[in-house]
Structure 1
């Protein structure tokens, strides 16, 4: 019994099989995640090391070079890049595609451990090197802006506890990060002159605080029948107790900390500022876990956010600035409508050319089965519904009907000859099985090589190839089982009983088309040389014109988002950067009436920005501009970006500007730092490479179409260099390490201990007051 006979002779079994397919497909569909693109993990590992306060030269010599020397021997390594900046080292290891990144990460950890013997001491001088593997699932799904007036000083702790903690408990949420705001800290502002008058140093104060703020278990004492635990709870109960820490005794007088310092329950020094729509606030960024439904997680977060905001102080304003799930929903909704419209058009076209209603209904009923099987594959393979998978289904819609049209048309032909419907369904399907199987095989053969494409393109086209292949094989199975079964039950032996709909009109239309085609064919056969010459000319013209067609990794998309990064001279104070950012904000509000929201971050830390190759420091300004939807504005985001580019470049003090209005996915995946073209310059001299970079930059700026041309290497930050007379230091009983620790604690500050309250720990920072470190002479 062949497949056609099975389908016709076992209709109930056949129907149950396809009902089972529907149930499994619908179950798979409800469990599939929604995302913009397939999950992509570029073969790269970044090693990030923070060396607080170190110059780029020190970072390169003491951190980057030792790590590079060890990491260069990592198996599978294709290329290694490093960047040594102010207080941060970033080393990017790029591997060949196909390398197991988990194993590569273990190899990297082993080499970092070997390099630690020559690195500055951890954790006294540098932080533990951090290994980072990028995945597209790490792209934030929500940017939430929070403003406040009276509550602003305590906004960071308020939002971290009342919003951050509940959001972190939501299933599917990966991390919740806060940027901006003030973080609580106990500041010990030492008066250097008073401290010296009593004969103490800042190191003495740091040690005294560490020794006096102690909570330790001391073992146990057995007395009688009871075993008592012994502990020493001697931590500071409140900030006032810190004032009474005894530094020592001078004569008969005890010297308290309050005698030489001002103790302040305040905040950390501001390293990052945030504003949302011109008001000071903070930014909350939500990332999802890998493999979960982006849209569902974003929906849960926004729902929970609505509940939480009701309990916040009245002056706290919470609003979602960017919701990437909405872009996903809009894109997928558009593609779904295309798939549905395509299916309807296929059915109408089939009805028109076949001319009968019943056969058209049979063909229409087979389409969903072929497409639904694709959802089973997506679920079993752990993939998501995304732009690529829906695009693949759009392509497949027009292909899955080919086989069933051939089968149904042949069945109709046998019925027209007078055969009984049941026999006609089996015989006609058997006749067409090999031709449609060969046709399906040739189509699959076209897509099959895409499975062997590597790299990012391979990740995208592999999914397309597999989905199209699965749907085509499903359509073949449906055509030789389900379609003949439906024909045997629905079609009638008389053509008139099959609901003649458009047969007469379509026959006339097809006849006219055939007449036109026969005329063209006759002309071609009588003028063979002319036709061949015309074909050659068209082919040659196509080849010649292809060089004028642009190429790009991702098409430009007007999503209504503008990302602006401005760099001021290195060393600019964050307060000055804040003033400059306010000026740019005014320009945006004045020149962009299409503006919906604008958020600003001044000063970026050494976290995600450094990992992705971005510049860090108080001189960096990052803006995120959200425009009204495309249909509600006359100008495109690219036109607005070009206008703002000209306005910002005209401002004095701007060193670099990057304004991006396209799809950010390509720059994130490729790690190009937002630049479509990069020229790498290597050499043994900073001066020579800087000179070469400047010349190349001048040439590129004169190339038509280039914008935001910049040199990645930053200018050197202004600095003071302290030189120590070792003989004088030795005669005073000092060594270089003691001097360095004293100056570092006095200028940058040092965490002496921790103050605990309400289950939270806050730094106790010792530092010279402003008057004691205002000038180099101090």
Structure 2
């Protein structure tokens, strides 16, 4: 006896094998699937089209996890894309259509450039006001020490090097030198009185222990509370506040420890009476005399001074209330998005044809580098990537008005050009307004349309706000005559299955090609289902297995239905989304 593994070749692994399937046999005649149907290996559906700079493409979106670093993720994506491009056949090329980290990297580079310029300016200003290279070295040394301390605290707190932490470093450059400058000035004063450098450093440091500590704590407690705020403000500025407060605390420690020691070693008696330092001191003496006379004049007219102070203080209230407010000013991120809205009964071919006209308008702007478009039958999303900052003169906000006017002339679709917000918000648009009620969606929609008209008439929005609820989706319903079905000896399940198999687009089985599983989807040819009336002529299983037209047992009813029914906190809701052209 032996053991043998038995297998059978029942699997179908190619379109040719499906074509050879026998679906009927009568009188020795065989009807195969290829005799009544076209068998093709194609896409699961054809409800979307992707183009890159006008050429057909395949799109894959990558979303970064909340706890991931976008710069690291996109760096890995670029590395993998290089490997993929090496394996692609001739004529195919992979690229990145939109990379938000380009703006982040450029912004970080600009901040680093600003940091270098700030260091040079601070050094120059300190030298001009102190007049001595020896005296300048002491406060300058406090800058790198304080920055190193700030980076150490960032590491301890788990902060990353980002725009906000770098902004904190830039601001702290001008703040951390204050304590060191005060310390140097006080020690120089004791040196001018005849004290030895070491004794002057000890006495000067002891005199300023209290003031330096109070200054440091005051500055720290001004910034630190920002980091304890909740919501979006706290999430955005927590790292900024704690980094800046940490740098200030470190600068206070440096001013009380390192600065006196450096003064004892580097400062010499009589330095202020020679060279450039002498000219600086003379200038400050004259300035001090002018300030003293102005102060005496103000103190002599105290009632008038109090009155001016009170008026200025009271004016702060109306000035604050009348000032426009917004989350963040718009930034040049080098991208303009296009939001496409098409009729509910449009096909992807029709929408793509109009989207192609929008792409031509994108490239009519000289600042355009490339574009991408994701088109669906009744909606779409596109982007117009601009050339780098150094290669163009106009910003997205300057391009936007003219571009929007050109896009408005496209008849078949509505394309709304917008720029991405500088900071992330709670939704997809800068302004989102939700109307929630127990009323029917149709009633809420009427209210939303009234608000839309008033918002458009106000001139405060780039385009009329978008309403997410639209009751315009064509729907064709088969009304099956149950009595007729019963009289013919049929059942509703069989009729429903026949209709679903022919027009539903659902898969009935799977097959394997190259170790991968694909769906088998039966469907009537597109030419036979271009409109609902044609469906009454399709055949379903009739009595004794014979075929009969669907119109014999069913009629067609057409109506308009909502594209989607949205809810907010368990209430019927309609949302208006818009882009304000000025602070609201």
Instruction: Give the Cα–Cα distance (whole angstroms) in 2 for the partners of residues 258 and 685 of structure 1.
Output: 51
Instruction: Give the Cα–Cα distance (whole angstroms) in 2 for the partners of residues 535 and 396 of structure 1.
Output: 30
Kindly state the Cα deviation for residue 400 of structure 1 after the two structures are TM-superposed: 1.3
Q: In the alignment, is residue 406 of structure 1 matched against residue 182 of structure 2?
A: yes
Q: Helix, strand or coil: the match of 1:372?
A: helix
The one-character-per-residue Cα deviations of 1:662-686 (angstroms, maximum 9, x if unpaired) are 43643xx311x31425252534223
Kindly state the Cα deviation for residue 573 of structure 1 after the two structures are TM-superposed: 0.6
The one-character-per-residue Cα deviations of 1:92-126 (angstroms, maximum 9, x if unpaired) are xxxxxxxxxxxxxxxxxxxxxxxxxxxxxxxxxxx
Instruction: Give the Cα–Cα distance (whole angstroms) in 1 for the partners of residues 535 and 24 of structure 2.
Output: 29
5+ residue gaps, structure 1? 1-222, 604-617
The one-character-per-residue Cα deviations of 1:53-101 (angstroms, maximum 9, x if unpaired) are xxxxxxxxxxxxxxxxxxxxxxxxxxxxxxxxxxxxxxxxxxxxxxxxx
Q: Which residue of 2 aligns with 1:688?
A: 443
Q: Which residue of 2 aligns with 1:652?
A: 411
Instruction: Give the Cα–Cα distance (whole angstroms) in 1 for the partners of residues 269 and 459 of structure 2.
Output: 70
Kindly state the Cα deviation for residue 494 of structure 1 after the two structures are TM-superposed: 3.4
Q: 1:273 to 1:392 in 2, by over 3 A?
A: same
Q: 1:631 to 1:323 in 2, by over 3 A?
A: same
Q: Which residue of 2 aligns with 1:545?
A: 319
Larger Rg, first or second structure (1 or 2): 2
Q: 1:279 to 1:382 in 2, by over 3 A?
A: same
Q: In the alignment, is residue 517 of structure 1 matched against residue 275 of structure 2?
A: no
Q: In the alignment, is residue 245 of structure 1 matched against residue 21 of structure 2?
A: yes
8 Å CA contact 2:188, 2:267 repeated in 1 = no
From 357, 374, 380, the counterpart of 1:601: 374
Q: 1:635 to 1:472 in 2, by over 3 A?
A: closer
8 Å CA contact 1:558, 1:662 repeated in 2 = no
Farther off after superposition, 441-450 or 566-575: 441-450
Farther off after superposition, 229-238 or 449-458: 229-238
Q: 1:765 to 1:776 in 2, by over 3 A?
A: closer
Q: Which residue of 1 aligns with 2:261?
A: 485
Q: 1:526 to 1:428 in 2, by over 3 A?
A: closer
Please report the TM-score for the alignment, with normalisation by the length of structure 1.
Answer: 0.63
Q: 1:232 to 1:485 in 2, by over 3 A?
A: farther
Q: Which residue of 2 aligns with 1:749?
A: 505
Instruction: Give the Cα–Cα distance (whole angstroms) in 1 for the partners of residues 493 and 196 of structure 2.
Output: 101
The one-character-per-residue Cα deviations of 1:149-186 (angstroms, maximum 9, x if unpaired) are xxxxxxxxxxxxxxxxxxxxxxxxxxxxxxxxxxxxxx
Kindly state the Cα deviation for residue 366 of structure 1 after the two structures are TM-superposed: 2.0
Q: Helix, strand or coil: the match of 1:767?
A: coil
From 215, 234, 242, the counterpart of 1:458: 234
Paired residues for 1:623-638 under 5 Å: 623-630=382-389, 632-638=391-397
Q: 1:388 to 1:492 in 2, by over 3 A?
A: closer
Instruction: Give the Cα–Cα distance (whole angstroms) in 1 for the partners of residues 186 and 236 of structure 2.
Output: 38
Q: 1:730 to 1:378 in 2, by over 3 A?
A: farther
Please report the TM-score for the alignment, with normalisation by the length of structure 2.
Answer: 0.83
Kindly state the Cα deviation for residue 256 of structure 1 after the two structures are TM-superposed: 4.0
Kindly state the Cα deviation for residue 456 of structure 1 after the two structures are TM-superposed: 0.4
8 Å CA contact 1:570, 1:715 repeated in 2 = no
Q: In the alignment, is residue 305 of structure 1 matched against residue 78 of structure 2?
A: no
8 Å CA contact 1:355, 1:500 repeated in 2 = no
8 Å CA contact 1:418, 1:493 repeated in 2 = no
8 Å CA contact 1:561, 1:626 repeated in 2 = yes
Instruction: Give the Cα–Cα distance (whole angstroms) in 1 for the partners of residues 267 and 450 of structure 2.
Output: 81
Instruction: Give the Cα–Cα distance (whole angstroms) in 1 for the partners of residues 489 and 422 of structure 2.
Output: 58
From 579, 582, 596, the counterpart of 2:353: 579
Q: Which residue of 1 aligns with 2:400?
A: 641
Instruction: Give the Cα–Cα distance (whole angstroms) in 1 for the partners of residues 4 and 267 of structure 2.
Output: 94
Instruction: Give the Cα–Cα distance (whole angstroms) in 1 for the partners of residues 422 and 477 of structure 2.
Output: 41
Q: Helix, strand or coil: the match of 1:720?
A: strand
Instruction: Give the Cα–Cα distance (whole angstroms) in 2 for the partners of residues 715 and 650 of structure 1.
Output: 25
Q: Which residue of 2 aligns with 1:439?
A: 215
Q: Which residue of 1 aligns with 2:201?
A: 425
5+ residue gaps, structure 2? 538-584
The one-character-per-residue Cα deviations of 1:520-570 (angstroms, maximum 9, x if unpaired) are 212212323333333333334443333442211121112231101121111
Q: In the alignment, is residue 702 of structure 1 matched against residue 457 of structure 2?
A: yes
Kindly state the Cα deviation for residue 732 of structure 1 after the two structures are TM-superposed: 4.2
Q: 1:772 to 1:698 in 2, by over 3 A?
A: closer
The one-character-per-residue Cα deviations of 1:206-235 (angstroms, maximum 9, x if unpaired) are xxxxxxxxxxxxxxxxx77xx876666642
Q: 1:323 to 1:684 in 2, by over 3 A?
A: closer
Q: 1:559 to 1:569 in 2, by over 3 A?
A: same
Q: Helix, strand or coil: the match of 1:718?
A: strand
Instruction: Give the Cα–Cα distance (whole angstroms) in 2 for the partners of residues 660 and 499 of structure 1.
Output: 63
Q: Helix, strand or coil: the match of 1:511?
A: helix
Q: 1:371 to 1:563 in 2, by over 3 A?
A: same
Kindly state the Cα deviation for residue 507 of structure 1 after the two structures are TM-superposed: 0.9
Q: Helix, strand or coil: the match of 1:624?
A: strand
Kindly state the Cα deviation for residue 402 of structure 1 after the two structures are TM-superposed: 1.9
Instruction: Give the Cα–Cα distance (whole angstroms) in 2 for the partners of residues 574 and 657 of structure 1.
Output: 15
Instruction: Give the Cα–Cα distance (whole angstroms) in 2 for the partners of residues 740 and 495 of structure 1.
Output: 104
Q: In the alignment, is residue 316 of structure 1 matched against residue 71 of structure 2?
A: no
Instruction: Give the Cα–Cα distance (whole angstroms) in 1 for the partners of residues 274 and 13 of structure 2.
Output: 91
The one-character-per-residue Cα deviations of 1:28-70 (angstroms, maximum 9, x if unpaired) are xxxxxxxxxxxxxxxxxxxxxxxxxxxxxxxxxxxxxxxxxxx
Instruction: Give the Cα–Cα distance (whole angstroms) in 2 for the partners of residues 292 and 415 of structure 1.
Output: 55
8 Å CA contact 1:351, 1:502 repeated in 2 = no
Paired residues for 1:89-104 under 5 Å: none
Kindly state the Cα deviation for residue 506 of structure 1 after the two structures are TM-superposed: 1.2
Q: Which residue of 2 aligns with 1:529?
A: 303
Q: 1:230 to 1:370 in 2, by over 3 A?
A: farther
Q: In the alignment, is residue 563 of structure 1 matched against residue 324 of structure 2?
A: no
Aligned Cα RMSD in Å? 2.9
The one-character-per-residue Cα deviations of 1:292-344 (angstroms, maximum 9, x if unpaired) are 55434434443553454355334224444433332112111111222222233
Q: 1:369 to 1:741 in 2, by over 3 A?
A: farther
From 564, 586, 589, the counterpart of 2:363: 589
Q: 1:582 to 1:476 in 2, by over 3 A?
A: same
The one-character-per-residue Cα deviations of 1:645-675 (angstroms, maximum 9, x if unpaired) are 2233333344x54321243643xx311x314
Kindly state the Cα deviation for residue 625 of structure 1 after the two structures are TM-superposed: 0.7
Q: In the alignment, is residue 678 of structure 1 matched against residue 437 of structure 2?
A: no
From 282, 285, 292, the counterpart of 1:508: 282
Q: Helix, strand or coil: the match of 2:507?
A: strand
Instruction: Give the Cα–Cα distance (whole angstroms) in 2 for the partners of residues 454 and 681 of structure 1.
Output: 26
Instruction: Give the Cα–Cα distance (whole angstroms) in 2 for the partners of residues 699 and 493 of structure 1.
Output: 74
